[in-house]
Amino acid sequence: MCIEDGKLRRPVRALNLGDIGAPMTHHDIRPYDGIFVPLVTPFLASMEIDWAALERLVRFYAGLGLAGFVPCGSTGEASTLSMQEHKAVISFVTEKAKALGDFRVVAATGSNSTQECLELTAHAKASGVDACLVVTPYYVRPNRSGLLAHYGRVSELDLDVLLYNIPLRAGLNLTLEDIVLLHAKVARIVGIKEATSDIGQLIDVAHHFADDATFTVLSGEDALLFDCCVNGGRGSICATALVYPREVVALHRHLVAGQLREAASINRWLRPRVKALFCESNPVAIKHALSRVHGILPITRAPLGPASAQAVKTIDALGLEPES
């Protein structure tokens, strides 16, 4: 790590990023392996969606070797979008991404209302997405039979489903036993975004499915991407990749190639930056970082407020520079 004038600088030459320009071919990996970016939803000062900025982001990330895009997740502030906006963002991102290449689009369609989840998922399927990302029904915290019924009804729409386990936000943790049961009982469940901060659980889940070609484990906790992949995980839905896409893609490529020393070097470089990007509730700090890199407005919708003075200081200390 290089520090100049109190700012973290990006020592690109010190990192062995390798060739990350061309996407990995699908015969090399499973359909949902790789690094996916959970897109922010840019807003104008009027609080309307900034469609031009969203298109610029999709075009930028399309050239960096990513596996695909995740619109309307936590990073995309889905909870503040109307149903109409949520559907429009899914359709817009899918259209733009598919026009740019062979990218997977995994639309976040989860809700604590099964009916709302079904409506969003049906729209996502009609828009041409590859899969839906369905969070555990937050706040209501259903029991196992409720989970089976919820995911079973989503599966009836005949679209690939990625589970999304994020105990901190949902108030409910999918255990390994829950995940195994859901995969066995619900036909279209093909993987999970595992966003637990419990490294023991993450490793157990990654180990269990390491050799199962029908189920992909993706890290949803950015600080544990390395740990997930060395234990059988296959990639990540990674908000850090919005700010450091080349480094995150290179980390994953080195892991796939078994180049652990090179991957570990990038992981060490990324860790303090991951911590900085999550210094406030996501995506507050990340949007501030993207305002520096891509010129979007660092605006979040209520109840999220603007970045605190300390968060601004933390992000500015990263020394981010505009992308050309």
- Predicted pLDDT of residue 21: 44
The CA-to-CA distance between both ends of the chain, in Å, stands at 24
The verdict on whether 151 is a catalytic residue reads no
Taking residues 233-261, what's their average pLDDT?
97
**Distance between CA 105 and CA 128 in Å, rounded?**
8
In this prediction, residue 30 has a pLDDT band, given cuts at 50, 70 and 90, of confident
Q: How confident is the model at residue 13, as a pLDDT?
A: 38
What is the average per-residue pLDDT within 151-167? 98
23 Cβ contact list (under 8 Å, min separation 6): 65, 66, 67, 101, 102, 103
Q: How many CB atoms lie within 10 A of CB 188?
A: 17
pTM: 0.91
d(CA 116, CA 78): 13
Q: What is the DSSP letter of 233?
A: -
* 274: its two tokens: 């991951």
Give the pair of three-digit tokens for residue 260: 């652990």
| Cβ-defined contacts of 252-260 (< 8 Å, 24+) | 252/34, 252/35, 252/225, 253/18, 253/20, 253/24, 253/65, 254/16, 254/18, 255/226, 255/229, 255/230, 256/24, 256/28, 256/29, 256/229, 260/230
- Reported confidence tier of residue 324, pLDDT bands at 50, 70, 90: low
The answer to whether 5 touches 238, Cβ cutoff 8 Å, is no
Question: What pLDDT score does 115 carry?
Answer: 98
User: From the candidates 151, 193, 244, 287, which is the catalytic residue?
Assistant: 193
Catalytic residue among 32, 61, 151, 164: 164
| Residue 244 annotated to the active site | no
Q: Is 75 annotated as a binding residue?
A: yes
> Is the CB of residue 300 less than 8 Å from the CB of residue 287?
yes
pLDDT for 218-237, tens place per residue?
Answer: 999 999 999 999 999 999 99
Strands (E), 13-116: 34-38, 68-70, 104-108
pLDDT surpassing 50 at residue 27: no
Spatial separation of the C-alpha atoms in residues 149 and 116, rounded to whole Å: 14
pLDDT reported for residue 9? 42
Contact indicator for 323, 291 with CB cutoff of 8 Å: no
Give the closest residue to 59 by CA, choosing from 14, 9, 114, 96.
96
315 and 292 Cβ atoms separated by less than 8 Å: yes
Q: What sign for the dihedral angle of Cα 177, 79, 132, 215?
A: negative
Of 2-6, 36-40, 276-280, 318-322, the one with minimum mean pLDDT is 2-6
CB atoms within 10 A of CB 280: 21
Domain range annotation of the chain: 28-259
DSSP at 282: T
Reported as a single tens digit per residue, the pLDDT across 135-146 is 999 999 999 999
| Model confidence pLDDT, tens digit, residues 279-323 | 999 999 999 999 999 999 999 999 999 999 999 999 999 999 999
**Residue 1 to residues 20, 253, 274, Cα–Cα distance (Å):** 22, 21, 13
Report how far residue 14's alpha carbon sits from residue 265's, in angstroms, rounded to the nearest whole number.
9
More confident residue, 280 or 21: 280
299 is in an annotated binding site: no
Secondary structure string (H, E, C) spanning 181-211: HHHHHCCCEEEEEECCCCHHHHHHHHHHHCC
Domain with residues 28-259, CATH architecture: Alpha-Beta Barrel (3.20)
Do 163 and 195 form a contact (C-beta atoms < 8 A)?
no
